Structure 1
Amino acid sequence: MASASIRVSYTPNDIDGLAAKIEKTIEDFDPEQRVSDFINDFALDINLPGGDLYLTFNGTRLPVDTSFEENGINGNGELLELFSENIPA
């Protein structure tokens, strides 16, 4: 089986709003993984609270109670964007 990968773009927490977007490639991607589980795991890696984050693909927010596969994301290098619900004032 070929290795599945995705790219995740996010902006680190930055009080002044000056941080640049960071893009990470996830090489050991599992399309059957639940979106919520991925967000929680990824949040641990970047030291953010998972409950405050959500993912989008092609501008559409991914439902957390579905798998990536159900959203048409199969690990073919797709770019997902990670956002925070709580934007600092």
Structure 2
Amino acid sequence: MGRDNAAVAKELRVSVRSVQRWRRDWEDRGTQGLRSRGPVSRPKLNDALFAVLEKDLDRGPAAHGRPDPVAGNSGNCTEFVVNFMRPGG
């Protein structure tokens, strides 16, 4: 079987349970068992809301009170998206 599940999980930074699931799927269905089945949950934004968010993000940080964005700082984007998702945001 090769390396144990815990070692693989640690290297890939996933849960041991995920590795167990992958191994079981591979044993049951071969490489087809490892193909992605898509996201587990539905997207949180419908197409209309995603279009609004995309348009707002395209306006840039200055339009949202952030004239000096720090390169590599995803916190500003995260904060914007969280605020956008709030009712009335």
TM-score (norm 2): 0.26
From the two aligned structures, give the one with the greater strand fraction: 1
Higher RCO (CA < 8 A, seq sep 6+): 1
Q: TM-score by structure 1 length? A: 0.26
Q: Which is helix-richer, 1 or 2?
A: 2
